[in-house]
Amino acid sequence: MAHTLPAATGFLVSARKGGGQAPGPVFATRGAHESVAEALRNQTFDAVLVHSGSPGDAVARAGDTALVLAGELYNREELLTLLPSGGDVRTDAQLVLALLGIYDLHAFRLLNGRFAAAAALGDRLLLATDHAGSVPLYTLPAPGRVLAATEIKALVPATAGTPPAGRPVADARRVRRVPGVHQVPAGTVLDLDVRTGTAVPHRTWAPALSRRVRSEADATDAVRRTLERAVEARTGGTTPLVVLSGGIDSSGVAALAAAHTDGPLDTLSMGTDTANEFAEARVVATHLGSAHREITVPTADLLGQLPYAIWASESVDPDIIEYLLPLTALYRALDGPARRILTGYGADIPLAGMHREDRLPQLDTAVAFDMATFDGLNEMTPVLSGIQGHWSTHPYWDRDVLDLLVPLEAGLKRRYGRDKWVLREAMSALLPQETVTRPKLGVHEGSGTTSSFSLLLMDAGVPDADVHRAKSLVVREIFDRVVVEGLPPAEVRTADAVHQVAARLKETE
């Protein structure tokens, strides 16, 4: 099956006792909307799907159970072996529904994918994220009516006026300034009782805390094979587009994708008038023979797109927003038909690449901390490319890749004076030597995003020492406009938020 996009890339669902209206759908994700209504024995289950042509493939119904799935699975083949032969299972939604029939909510412990799911059965609504929570999922539960959506902004209208003030949800993070709305944690199924609105969380995945000793050969071989499988599962028989910086992470993905693509791979690099990595990316594109493009975004435009990055990611973390801003600009500049995009995003988290730390205790402390705190940052959200109608997916955060990389003992991550050693060694036969040994450069550095954002604030009068705090305030200010108040990002100006924050900081001096 060759699909550019999953059957659905977002949803809003309402599960309720008796009648009532579901709220109208509001998404940053681009796509057609399709309404689904399923009258079950004990509840009414309504959904609006964001899709690109076959919304029916994102819905499954059997007996008194209905399910919607946004996103896709990467271990279909092994999951199919769990079903009795002769079953009619064509789509990922049908597969998850069939597994629910056998395992109930434990079905979600089996899945390797990039998805959010909602399933209605009896008086229950199950809300599930993938192991990494890579497709964000939010809920507004109340007695008699539970709402859930892949974007906060789809739930905001329901928080105004009439009741559902919402109920507390154990273990779930509240959303800033949106009463009653909680984010379903990563690697979790919430088992909600629609009658009472109460939720019981079940963790379905957690990053390893132990570390494994492996020989160099064994570790590098496992990394190459596991990453290759993750890339292959994500190409879906299409010609993917790899967003390529010429760093080891995206270059590794591009090399493996090229091997699984008939004909040349497509690669794309972005830069600004301040900084770019074009020369380094070109080395890789030439080596792989990819059809390569470069996009230059003026720095003023880049900073002007902050409202889009926040609108799409619904993140309030200023560091994350600096990583996501150049990618937002890249995706927004990518006109034309919908693409399946592979990235090298996230490799630095299990390998502690961005910490530039060569002491093993500190390196493993960074891995343990980052793997314990990624949830809720929305770093991996598909909405970032979804605002332009594209689907992005990140092989380094494949469940099997993480289950391999996280527990490698720190001496395999830093070795012979080299960071991300095991990955570099695993890719060394597939890439030019200068790419394999190239020092890490973050996307926020290579595009000049961090320094340009700092300069913008200092030009507005923010003192050096306050710049990071000011960035955080600017991000919150914009979040309140584009997510909480629901203003379109085109109507929100970065400069206004910067001047407001600068003025506020001056007052409190």
Chain positions contacting ligand ATP, by CB under 6 A: 243-245, 247-250, 269-271, 277, 327, 330, 343-345, 348, 353, 440-443, 446-447
How far from each other are the two terminal CA atoms of the chain, in whole angstroms?
Answer: 61
Q: Binding residue for Mg ion (CB under 5 A) from 261, 272, 378, 494?
A: 261
Q: Binding residue for Mg ion (CB under 5 A) from 245, 290, 388, 435?
A: 245
Active site residue 440: yes
Question: What's the rounded Cα separation, in Å, for the pair 40 and 461?
Answer: 59
Question: What's the rounded Cα separation, in Å, for the pair 147 and 433?
Answer: 52
Question: What's the rounded Cα separation, in Å, for the pair 97 and 60?
Answer: 7
484 binds, among ligand ATP, Mg ion, none (CB under 5 to 8 A by kind): none
CB of 280 to ligand ATP, least distance (A): 9
Whose Cβ is closer to ligand ATP: residue 219's or residue 334's?
334
Residue 308 C-beta-side C-alpha neighbours within 13 Å? 23
261 binds, among ligand ATP, Mg ion, none (CB under 5 to 8 A by kind): Mg ion
Question: What's the rounded Cα separation, in Å, for the pair 213 and 197?
Answer: 46
Total binding residues toward Mg ion, as defined by CB under 5 A? 8
Whose Cβ is closer to ligand ATP: residue 67's or residue 231's?
231
Query: Alpha-carbon Rg of the chain, whole angstroms?
Result: 22
Whose Cβ is closer to ligand ATP: residue 131's or residue 440's?
440
Cβ(172)–Cβ(185) below 8 Å: yes
CB of 455 to Mg ion, least distance (A): 21
CA 497 to chain centre: 26
Asked if 441 is part of the footprint of Mg ion (rule: CB under 5 A), the reply reads yes
- Of the residues 314, 379, 425, 477, only one is catalytic, namely 379
244 binds, among ligand ATP, Mg ion, none (CB under 5 to 8 A by kind): ligand ATP
3-class SS string, 126-185: EEEECCCCCCCCEEEEECCEEEEECCHHHCHHHHCCCCCCCCCCCCCEECCCCCCCEECC
Whose Cβ is closer to ligand ATP: residue 145's or residue 420's?
420
Nearest CA to 80 out of 64, 98, 67, 66 is that of: 98
CB of 435 to ligand ATP, least distance (A): 10
Asked if 448 is part of the footprint of Mg ion (rule: CB under 5 A), the reply reads no
250 binds, among Mg ion, ligand ATP, none (CB under 5 to 8 A by kind): ligand ATP
With contacts defined by CB under 5 A, name the span among 50-58, 91-99, 313-321, 440-448 that binds Mg ion.
Answer: 440-448
Amino acid at 42: N
CB of 506 to Mg ion, least distance (A): 36
248 binds, among Mg ion, ligand ATP, none (CB under 5 to 8 A by kind): ligand ATP
Whose Cβ is closer to Mg ion: residue 420's or residue 481's?
420
Whose Cβ is closer to Mg ion: residue 4's or residue 269's?
269
Question: What's the rounded Cα separation, in Å, for the pair 240 and 86?
Answer: 32
Nearest CA to 288 out of 231, 358, 327 is that of: 231
Whose Cβ is closer to ligand ATP: residue 22's or residue 443's?
443
**Which x/- pattern, by CB under 5 A, does the window 304-343 give for Mg ion?**
----------------------------------------
- The beta-strand segments (E) located in 252-366 are 266-272, 291-297, 340-342
φ/ψ region of 376 (left if φ > 0, alpha if ψ in -120 to 50, else beta) reads left
CB of 273 to ligand ATP, least distance (A): 13
Whose Cβ is closer to ligand ATP: residue 166's or residue 271's?
271
Asked if 249 is part of the footprint of Mg ion (rule: CB under 5 A), the reply reads yes
Active site residue 345: yes
Which residues make Cβ contacts (< 8 Å) with residue 260, sequence separation at least 6?
Answer: 228, 231, 232, 235
Nearest CA to 367 out of 344, 348, 390, 395 is that of: 348
Indicate the SS3 state at residue 25. Answer: coil
- Of the residues 345, 420, 425, 471, only one is catalytic, namely 345
What is the DSSP track for 203-241?
E------S-B---HHHHHHHHHHHHHHHHHHHHTTS--E
27 binds, among ligand ATP, Mg ion, none (CB under 5 to 8 A by kind): none
Residues near Mg ion, by CB under 5 A: 245, 247, 249, 258, 261, 347-348, 441
Q: Give me the active site residues, please.
A: 345, 379, 440
